[in-house]
C-alpha cells in the first residue's frame, strides 16, 4: 500500500511540476488579454452574419481562457447585445476547446505539433459550426433571452465551475428581468471589493493581474486538482499497454472517447493530464485528440445553453459538427503523425528528472489553486457579498 501511495504521489507531482511553468505563462498571458480586450468592441464586431463575422468570433474565442461553463453567460451576453447566430455558435464551439493557458500547457506536455493541431481544430470546428448554423438554422426561431442590459455587462469576467449551474439559468432566464435598483444602490449596499471595480470597459492593470493570477486559478482549481489526481491514478494503475491493440485506435476508440467526453464537465486545461495519461497507457493520439476537442465543448450545461440561445436545429448542427470534425481530425492525426507523437509522449512519461524551476513552479501552482479553492468555496460562504 505504501509503495502504491508513493508511486501515485510521485506520478501526480511529476504531472503538476511539468505542467506548472506553462500554466504560469498562461496566467500571465490571460492577464494581458483581459487588459487588452474590450467587450463592447467585440460585441460590435460580431453583429452581422457571414463568414467574416464567424471567423472573427473564432479568432477571439480560441485564445480566451474560458471554461465550458464560464463561456455560457459570455455567449448569452454577446447574443443579447446583437451577435449573430453563427458568431455565437462559433464562439461557443471554439472558446472552451482552447485558451492561452491550455495552449501553453498542451505545448509543454504533448509537444508543439499536438498544440498546433489542437488550435487548428478549435478554429475549424468553430468556423464550420458558425457557418452551418447561419445557413441552416431556422432564421425566425428567436432565442429565449431577456432584453439586453445597458450599458453592456463586463462579459469577460468568467464564472467559476461551482457557480456555473446558476449562471447559465440566470443568463438564459425566461422570466422578465426584475426592476433595476436605484443608481446609487450599488454604492450604498455594496461596500466590498467587488462593487468598487474599475470601469469594466477599461480594466486596470491591477484588475487584469488579479484576474490572471487569482480569478483564473480559482475558476480552474477544482477541475485541475481533480484532473491531476485522476491522471496520476490512471498512470499509476494502468499498465503501459492496457489501451493498446483494439482499444487504441479505430472506430471503437473514437466512440469510446466521444461517449466519455460528451456528458462530462472537463475544461480545456484539466483535460490535458487526462489525455496525456491515456496516451501513455496506449490510447492512440487521435482518440486523445477527440477527447480534448469534444470534452470541453460539450456537456449538459453547454447543450442546454445552445438550445436556449440558438434553438433546436442549431443545437443539432452544433453537436454533429463538433463530433464529425473531431473524428476526422483524430483519423487524420493517427494516419499522419500519431506514431511520432505517441513515441514522444511515451519518452516524456518515462523521464523522471525534474528541474528546480519545475519544482518551484509546481509549488506556486498548487498554492494558487489552494488559495483559489479556499476563496471560492470557503471564504465567500461567510461573506454577504463578493460571491463569485
Q: Where are the domains of the chain?
A: 2-173+202-381
Mean pLDDT of the chain: 77
Residue 212's contacts (CB-CB under 8 Å, 6 or more residues apart) are 27, 28, 29, 30, 31, 32, 34
DSSP 40-92: HHHHHHT-S-SHHHHHHHHHHHTT----TTTHHHHHHHHHHTT--HHHHHHHH
Kindly report each contact of residues 2-8 with a partner whose C-beta sits within 8 Å and lies 24 or more positions away, as own/partner. 4/236, 7/236, 8/232, 8/233, 8/236
Closest by alpha carbon to 327, among 247, 253, 262?
A: 253
- In this prediction, residue 62 carries a pLDDT of 93
Cα 159 from Cα 371, distance rounded (Å): 17
- In this prediction, residue 282 carries a pLDDT of 80
Contact 35, 106 (CB under 8 A): no
Residue 273's contacts (CB-CB under 8 Å, 6 or more residues apart) are 15, 19, 109, 227, 228, 230, 231, 232
- In this prediction, residue 97 carries a pLDDT of 92
* 263, three cell numbers: 456528458
pLDDT tier at 338, thresholds 50, 70, 90: low
Residue 264 has pLDDT above 90, yes or no: no
DSSP state of 214: I
Q: Is 383 exposed, middle or buried (CB count within 10 Å of its CB: 0-12, 13-18, 19+)? A: exposed
- In this prediction, residue 180 carries a pLDDT of 41
Max mean pLDDT among 34-38, 149-153, 188-192 falls in: 34-38
- In this prediction, residue 247 carries a pLDDT of 64
- Poorest-pLDDT segment among 157-166, 196-205, 324-333, 371-380: 157-166
- In this prediction, residue 34 carries a pLDDT of 80
Residue 108 has pLDDT above 80, yes or no: yes
Residue 178 has pLDDT above 50, yes or no: no
Max mean pLDDT among 68-72, 110-114, 287-291, 335-339 falls in: 287-291
Helical (H) or strand (E) element with 6? helix 2-36
Q: What is the CA radius of gyration of the chain?
A: 21
Amino acid at each position: 500500500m505504501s509503495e502504491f501511495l508513493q508511486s501515485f504521489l510521485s506520478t501526480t507531482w511529476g504531472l503538476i511540476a511539468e505542467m506548472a511553468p506553462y500554466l504560469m505563462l498562461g496566467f500571465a498571458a490571460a492577464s494581458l488579454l483581459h487588459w487588452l480586450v474590450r467587450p463592447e468592441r467585440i460585441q460590435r464586431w460580431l453583429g452581422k452574419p457571414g463568414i467574416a463575422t464567424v471567423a472573427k468570433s473564432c479568432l477571439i474565442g480560441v485564445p480566451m481562457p474560458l471554461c465550458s461553463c464560464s463561456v455560457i453567460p459570455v455567449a448569452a451576453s454577446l447574443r443579447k447585445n446583437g451577435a449573430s447566430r453563427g458568431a455565437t455558435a462559433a464562439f461557443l464551439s471554439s472558446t472552451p476547446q482552447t485558451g492561452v493557458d491550455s495552449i501553453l500547457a498542451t505545448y509543454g506536455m504533448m509537444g508543439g505539433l499536438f498544440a498546433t493541431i489542437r488550435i487548428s481544430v478549435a478554429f475549424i470546428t468553430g468556423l464550420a459550426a458558425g457557418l452551418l448554423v447561419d445557413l441552416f438554422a431556422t432564421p425566425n426561431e428567436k432565442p429565449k433571452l431577456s432584453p439586453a442590459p445597458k450599458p453592456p455587462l463586463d462579459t469577460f469576467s468568467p464564472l467559476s465551475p461551482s457557480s456555473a449551474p446558476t449562471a447559465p439559468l440566470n443568463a438564459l432566464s425566461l422570466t422578465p428581468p426584475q426592476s433595476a435598483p436605484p443608481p446609487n444602490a450599488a454604492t450604498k449596499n455594496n461596500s466590498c471589493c467587488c462593487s468598487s471595480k474599475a470601469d469594466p470597459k477599461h480594466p486596470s492593470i491591477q484588475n487584469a493581474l488579479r484576474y490572471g493570477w487569482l480569478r483564473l486559478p480559482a475558476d480552474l482549481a477544482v477541475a485541475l486538482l481533480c484532473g491531476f489526481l485522476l491522471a496520476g491514478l490512471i498512470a499509476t494503475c494502468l499498465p503501459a499497454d492496457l489501451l493498446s491493440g483494439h482499444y487504441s485506435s479505430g472506430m471503437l476508440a473514437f466512440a469510446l472517447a466521444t461517449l466519455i467526453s460528451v456528458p462530462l464537465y472537463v475544461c480545456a486545461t484539466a483535460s490535458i493530464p487526462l489525455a496525456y495519461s491515456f496516451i501513455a497507457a496506449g490510447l492512440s493520439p487521435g482518440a486523445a485528440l477527440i477527447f480534448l476537442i469534444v470534452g470541453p465543448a460539450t456537456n449538459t450545461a453547454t447543450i442546454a445553453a445552445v438550445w436556449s440561445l440558438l434553438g433546436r436545429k442549431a443545437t443539432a448542427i452544433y453537436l454533429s459538427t463538433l463530433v464529425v470534425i473531431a473524428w476526422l481530425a483524430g483519423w487524420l492525426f493517427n494516419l499522419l503523425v500519431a506514431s511520432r507523437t505517441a513515441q514522444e509522449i511515451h519518452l516524456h512519461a518515462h523521464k523522471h528528472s525534474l528541474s528546480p524551476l519545475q519544482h518551484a513552479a509546481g509549488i506556486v501552482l498548487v498554492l494558487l489553486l489552494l488559495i483559489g479553492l479556499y476563496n471560492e468555496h470557503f471564504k465567500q460562504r461567510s461573506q454577504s457579498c463578493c460571491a463569485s
